């Protein structure tokens, strides 16, 4: 499974990228707005920090303007992935861009039918929003299962399932068990994946015994 981080905080991205565990980054207009910086500048800095895909979202709602915005975003760096909403205009833009070999992340997916349309339009990634479905009483993880089954039924579809709106390490585990290709997570959730109470307890015991030995390595 690939790990993307969902943030526009370049300091966080740099720190996580240093681990070698980060495969890409996703952003959206809300995350960029929180940074208080210029959109194009943030995307350019992120692209310089990671080698993998960096999702930069168009803000237009009509296909022609989406394509114009995508042309600007594509010039930033070779690893820019154009992020487009799962609307008819977004699907048209996806088809046009993917036909030119451009990587497209179709976002705001809430049904398997939508995921099928995105794959038919040539999306490199489909982003189903798990947490937001959970918020309204639906089973977000079931959507990942449905999309995985649907895509596996048709091997010609090459779209990767990018599980989004991840709220916890449990979401990550379940998405991995189902077979999502990618998860995009907030920095805090990515760090929480390494945590376990027994790891902390064991380390404390090791360090206490080492201190009692009076030895040093250096």
CATH code, domain with 88:
3.20.20.70
Mean pLDDT of 81-103: 98
Q: What is the C-alpha R_g of the chain? A: 20
Q: Are 47 and 27 in contact (CB under 8 A)?
A: no
Domains in the chain: how many in total? 1
Per-residue pLDDT tens over the stretch 46-67: 999 999 999 999 999 999 999 9
In a domain, 59, yes or no: yes
In a domain, 218, yes or no: no
Catalytically annotated residues: 83
Distance CA 122, CA 23 (A): 21
pLDDT band at 35 (very low <50, low <70, confident <90, very high): confident
Q: Are 198 and 163 in contact (CB under 8 A)?
A: no
In a domain, 169, yes or no: yes
**Which residues, 6 or more positions from 51, have their beta carbon under 8 angstroms from its beta carbon?**
79
Distance of CA 56 to the CA centre of its chain: 11
In the 8-state DSSP scheme, what is residue 193? T
Read off the pTM: 0.94
pLDDT band at 34 (very low <50, low <70, confident <90, very high): confident
Per-residue pLDDT tens over the stretch 121-159: 999 999 999 999 999 999 999 999 999 999 999 999 999
Percent of the chain past pLDDT 90, that is, above it, reads 97
């Amino acid at each position: 499974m690939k790990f993307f981080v969902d943030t526009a905080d370049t300091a966080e991205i740099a720190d996580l990228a240093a681990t070698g565990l980060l495969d890409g980054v996703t952003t959206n207009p809300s995350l960029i707005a929180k940074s208080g910086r210029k959109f194009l500048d943030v995307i350019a800095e992120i692209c310089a920090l990671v080698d993998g895909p960096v999702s930069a979202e168009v803000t237009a709602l009509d296909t022609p303007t989406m394509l114009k915005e995508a042309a600007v975003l594509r010039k930033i760096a070779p690893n820019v992935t154009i992020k487009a909403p799962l609307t008819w205009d977004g699907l048209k833009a996806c088809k046009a861009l993917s036909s030119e070999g451009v990587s497209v992340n179709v976002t705001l997916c809430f049904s398997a039918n939508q995921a099928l349309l995105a794959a038919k339009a040539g999306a490199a990634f489909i982003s189903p929003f798990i947490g937001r479905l959970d918020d309204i009483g639906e089973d977000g993880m079931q959507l990942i299962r449905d999309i995985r089954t649907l895509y596996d039924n048709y091997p010609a579809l090459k779209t990767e399932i990018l599980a989004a709106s991840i709220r916890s390490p449990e979401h990550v585990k379940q998405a991995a068990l189902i077979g999502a290709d990618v998860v995009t997570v907030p920095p805090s959730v990515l760090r929480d994946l390494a945590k376990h109470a027994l790891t902390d307890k064991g380390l404390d015991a090791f360090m206490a015994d080492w201190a009692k030995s009076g030895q040093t390595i250096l």
